[in-house]
Amino acid sequence: MIEILTPAELPRARAAGALVATILQTLQGRTAVGTNLLEIDRWASEMIAEAGGVSCYVDYAPSFGRGPFGHYICTAVNDAVLHGMPHDYALRDGDLLTLDLAVSLDGLAADSAISFLVGASRPAESVALIAATERALAAGIAAAGPGARIGDLSYAIGTVLSEAGYPINLEFGGHGIGSTMHQDPHVSNDGRPGRGYRLRPGLLLALEPWVMIGTDRLVTDADGWTLRSATGSRTAHSEHTIAITEDGAEILTLAPGASA
Ligand code: MG
Ligand code: MG
């Protein structure tokens, strides 16, 4: 089912997006060398509760996972890229951390992910990797608007990733979002322009390009959730929730003070 919000519902979606963005920005600011992934999970849990939100992850139990996720945020380090389960690990200088968070507030969900380097080290390969997913996300958003098709967004995202030299895995991608976290339509991270569902005002989408250096193959950790690069190479992931409006697309999960 594809859910279309009424104009009266949009402010609630904005509030959910602002909450997710604020929590991610706060967590990034608090994260330093030595921060434990379990602390980040606890901080996320506290901020969600304080805001009156509901975690979309704690009870999430899709067919590809092993039972309910049981945590409030995904924390993926270095070669881990998707569904990173928080565990007892203290971050080191130069680690590439991805935080992925989805929260429901007043009945509407927002979903966003950021990748960043911990500490002072700035390994060039990792900087380029993160920048490519951010550019791909921006290109996908730029292609979105009323009348555009899902394939236009997929093509825009995939073109940036391919031109940056990264293989693209199509097993996991973006999605519709609204009263639940994952809905139709699926938004592949590569595709053909002019194909697929035609976007309408009131549609919410989570766009989420992610890549792994030199491979498109994933392996699953023993925890049954965390997905890693099969070769151990570094990975990055950028995600925003957007609303299709009458004249374009509005980013709902933009961090306070950030520009699109
Ligand atoms: Mg997400
Ligand atoms: Mg998502």
Residue 259 lies in a domain: no
Q: How far is the CA of 83 from the centre of ligand 1 (A)?
A: 9
Residues of the chain with pLDDT > 70, as a percent, come to 99
Residue 257 lies in a domain: no
pLDDT in tens, 83-113: 999 999 999 999 999 999 999 999 999 999 9
Three-state DSSP at 115 gives strand
Mark the residues whose beta carbon lies below 5 A from ion ligand 1: 100, 111, 113, 239
Q: How far is the CA of 100 from the centre of ligand 1 (A)?
A: 5
Residue 5 lies in a domain: no
Q: How far is the CA of 175 from the centre of ligand 1 (A)?
A: 10
CATH code for position 172: 3.90.230.10
CA distance 34 to 209: 28
| Cα–Cα distances in angstroms (integers) from residue 178 to residues 152, 182, 191, 241, in the given order | 21, 8, 23, 10
pTM of structure: 0.97
User: Which ligand is closest to the CA of 74, given by its number?
Assistant: 1
Q: How far is the CA of 183 from the centre of ligand 1 (A)?
A: 13
CB of 173 within 8 A of CB of 189?
A: yes
| Averaged pLDDT, 204-224 | 97
Residue 141 lies in a domain: yes
Q: Which domain holds residue 222?
A: 10-250
Residue 4 lies in a domain: no
Residue 255 lies in a domain: no
| Averaged pLDDT, 188-212 | 98
For 50, half-sphere exposure in the C-beta direction (CA atoms, 13 angstrom radius) is: 10
Q: How far is the CA of 173 from the centre of ligand 2 (A)?
A: 7
Own/partner pairs, 63-70, CB within 8 angstroms, 24+ separation: 65/224, 65/225, 66/223, 66/224, 66/225, 67/224, 69/225
Residue 260 lies in a domain: no
**Total count of domains within the chain:** 1
pLDDT in tens, 107-149: 999 999 999 999 999 999 999 999 999 999 999 999 999 999 9
Q: How far is the CA of 235 from the centre of ligand 1 (A)?
A: 15
For 154, half-sphere exposure in the C-beta direction (CA atoms, 13 angstrom radius) is: 25
Residue 2 lies in a domain: no
- The burial class, CB within 10 Å (0-12 / 13-18 / 19+), for 214 is middle
